[in-house]
Amino acid sequence: MKCALVQFAPHLGLLEKNLELHYEFIERALQEGIDLIIFPELSLTGYTLKDLTSEVALNPRKNNRLDRIKNLSQKIDIVVGLVEEGSRGLFYNSAVYYSGGEILAIHRKVFLPTFGLFEEGKFFATGRCFKTFRTRFGPAGLLICRDFLHYGASYCLLAGKADLILVLSAAPGRGMSAQAGFASSKMWELMGETISRFSTAFVLYCNRVGFEDGVVFAGGSFIYDPWGERLLRGPDLEPAFLVQEIDLENLNRARKTWSFLRDDRPEIILNSLQNLMTKNED
């Protein structure tokens, strides 16, 4: 399986211009024999939308502006980030997985940061679930940026037997590190290593670059294998078209060694959470 992570800077609020960029990257991926191409969070719109949110929103199941991406997905699986228009004037920060000319899954971001430079909760409604879905490569799950930093989200994908955990991100670069790169980038990589190893799954994390409204986005996209070993890391700050061959047989090898998936007991976790919620209500 050959994957591509597109670490680029979308044009803020310019849907048509971003669509053209997506077509160019997808055509390049087809020429290089890519099986799965992943774009960052809100790749079709840019991140700091604020009052532009409603203007760039669309319903991916109904809007024909996405028909070309849907048609291209007959040749290559495609994951994009967009503003999804829901019912009754609600908008979601969503990731859409296209394959075989169809939408296989839509994930609505659950954990919306709304503090400091982040204002997502002012403009987006909250997603309500984490779930896996079938792809031609095996079960997969989608997460968006801060979802990935809440390890309960990845646990839900483990319980759903995910082989691939796909993370779309628009993470700024923050903090200095003793080594090269941002301190915040080290945090994402540590999460990637941890989740991949203890979920015995591939983690593919695609982060954007560029500047918006005084915010610099860090890049540093990566892929970890089911052993917790990093296969690929993109550059900091710079655009990059990152290609990696993935051996899906590593899933079987890792799971024969580490029995986390075999020994998982989601019913016990569910019961424990229900008990905790009951206590909290008291």
User: What confidence tens digit (pLDDT) does each residue in 188-206 have?
Assistant: 999 999 999 999 999 999 9
Show the tokens assigned to 54: 């409603």
Torsions phi, psi of 248, nearest 5? Answer: -65, -20
Band of pLDDT at residue 88, cut at 50, 70 and 90? confident
Query: Structural domain boundaries of the chain?
Result: 2-281
Task: Output the CATH code of domain 2-281.
Answer: 3.60.110.10
What is the pLDDT, as a whole number, of residue 279?
79
CA distance 69 to 129: 25
Note if the pTM is more than 0.75.
Answer: yes
Q: Whole-angstrom Cα distance, residue 93 to residue 112? A: 9
Candidates 23, 86, 33, 25; CA nearest to 59 is: 86
Strand partners, 96: 80, 106
Confidence of residue 182 (pLDDT cuts 50, 70, 90): confident
For 1-29, the pLDDT digits (tens) are 999 999 999 999 999 999 999 999 999 99
